[in-house]
Amino acid sequence: MAHKLEPVSSTAGEPADDAGQAAFDRIIAADSRIEPRDWMPAAYRKTLVRQISQHAHSEIVGMQPEANWISRAPSLKRKAILMAKVQDEAGHGLYLYSAAETLGTPRQQLTEDLIAGKARYSSIFNYPTRSWADVGAIGWLVDGAAICNQVPLCRASYGPYGRAMVRICKEESFHQRQGFEILLELAQGTPEQKQMAQDAVNRWYAPALMMFGPPDDDSPNSKQSMAWNIKRFSNDELRQRFVGMMVEQVEVLGLTLPDDQVRFDEESQKWEHGPLDWDEFKEVLAGRGPCNAQRLERRREAHEDGAWVREAAAAYALRQRNAQEQNEEVA
Ligand code: FAQ
């Protein structure tokens, strides 16, 4: 007989439960994993739903800037690779929505919050893709930043999130290499192509650094998320690590980073970079970035256009379930 999954209540084990709290604390202290049916504090659940759903929305909205170039990719090979990459991002969104659902929050609710403009997604996807080189810059810088941020999340204390991240990171590594390869080919091409690659790196570099979130002293969630082993490193730690990776790779590309203050500080053993425009970051988060309105509008349209697919899938699932129940009655 097919195994039927029981729905997980969004308040399972809550409110306060001394034994549950003690078991939770032991699991976190042992750096082990919390699973969907374990008792967990309401604030832990809320933090996870917040981060995982924002992450899922980022993957889905993040399809748009690159999808704009599928029909204009410079060759059949590039088109096929880009289509596969954009589809991978859709898959990442689905794993993440599933992980959020194990916490008792239905995907429909998360989607409604996104299209109503009530949910966050990564700031980076509110910037325009002006040339083909931007597709390379997104792969190299944006997927590169995503990997740097997400490899530690493979060890996140919430099991379904950590496991989803393992697969996502494997695919993001391929994405970063394809972005690097696009930029390398352009950088080794005509002077105009090299300039196009440099221009894309110049525009995407600072927004990619801001993907890691606000500076540590302005990051309200980091401390608690690190205490719960959701985040393993602070926003600034990961940003500095990313800068170090990019300094090495940009040399191979034969391009430069648009920051003349980048340096390795021997004393702190950390990479330092020039100031970032945190006012711009706040504007983007407030919905006033270059493409916020367009991205949300497109997401709404896509959701409406997909209504018939959801209806058909639901009708098919119902038919399958009825057929299965009839078979079970006969057996
Ligand atoms: N954009 O206290 P913190 C990708 C918000 S996936 C927008 O530091 P936290 C793949 C934050 O939510 C990219 N909002 O927060 C791809 C919070 O607001 P809230 C997405 C941001 O959670 C590639 C407030 O600011 N990746 O790229 C941003 O501890 C190519 C205060 O911040 C993930 O989501 C931002 N950049 O740390 C797809 C990774 N930064 O909720 C397509 C998982 C901060 O209190 C094409 N997420 N905020 O209202 C994380 O690691 C964390 O959530 C951080 C933020 C690091 C993003």
List, for residues 243-254, the tens digit of each pLDDT value: 999 999 999 999
Residues in the chain where the model's pLDDT stays below 70: 1-15
Distance between CA atoms of residues 211 and 281, nearest Å: 9
pLDDT score at 14:
64
pLDDT in tens, 191-245: 999 999 999 999 999 999 999 999 999 999 999 999 999 999 999 999 999 999 9
Burial class (CB in 10 A: 0-12, 13-18, 19+), 277: exposed
| Partner residues linked to 265 by β-bridges | 270
Instruction: Please identify, by atom number, the ligand 1 atom nearest to the C-alpha of residue 213.
Output: 40
Q: Is the CB of 120 under 6 A from ligand 1?
A: yes
Amino acid at the residue 283: E
pLDDT score at 325:
93
Q: Is the CB of 214 under 6 A from ligand 1?
A: yes
Tell me the CA–centroid distance for residue 56 and ligand 1, in Å.
Answer: 10
Q: What is the CATH number of domain 21-289?
A: 1.20.1260.10
Distance between CA atoms of residues 193 and 201, nearest Å: 13
Q: Is the CB of 118 under 6 A from ligand 1?
A: no
Distance between CA atoms of residues 265 and 313, nearest Å: 56
Q: Name the residue of 44, 58, 236 to mutate for ligand 1: max ligand atoms within 8 A of Cβ.
A: 58
> How many Cβ atoms from other residues are within 10 Å of residue 312's Cβ?
10
Q: Is the CB of 122 under 6 A from ligand 1?
A: yes
Residue nearest atom 37 in ligand 1 by C-alpha distance = 213
pLDDT score at 331:
76
Q: Are 129 and 69 in contact (CB under 8 A)?
A: yes
> Hey, what's the torsion of the CAs at 205, 65, 58, 278, to 10 degrees?
40
- CA angle at 37 for the pair 31 and 38, rounded to the nearest 5°: 40
Sequence ranges of the domains in the chain: 21-289
Q: Is the CB of 213 under 6 A from ligand 1?
A: yes
Tell me the CA–centroid distance for residue 54 and ligand 1, in Å.
Answer: 7
Tell me the CA–centroid distance for residue 190 and ligand 1, in Å.
Answer: 37
Residue nearest atom 3 in ligand 1 by C-alpha distance = 219
Residue nearest atom 5 in ligand 1 by C-alpha distance = 213
The string over 97-131, giving b where at least 16 C-beta atoms fall within 10 Å of a residue's C-beta and e elsewhere, is bebbbbbebebeebbeebbeeebbbbbbbbbebeb
Distance between CA atoms of residues 61 and 165, nearest Å: 18
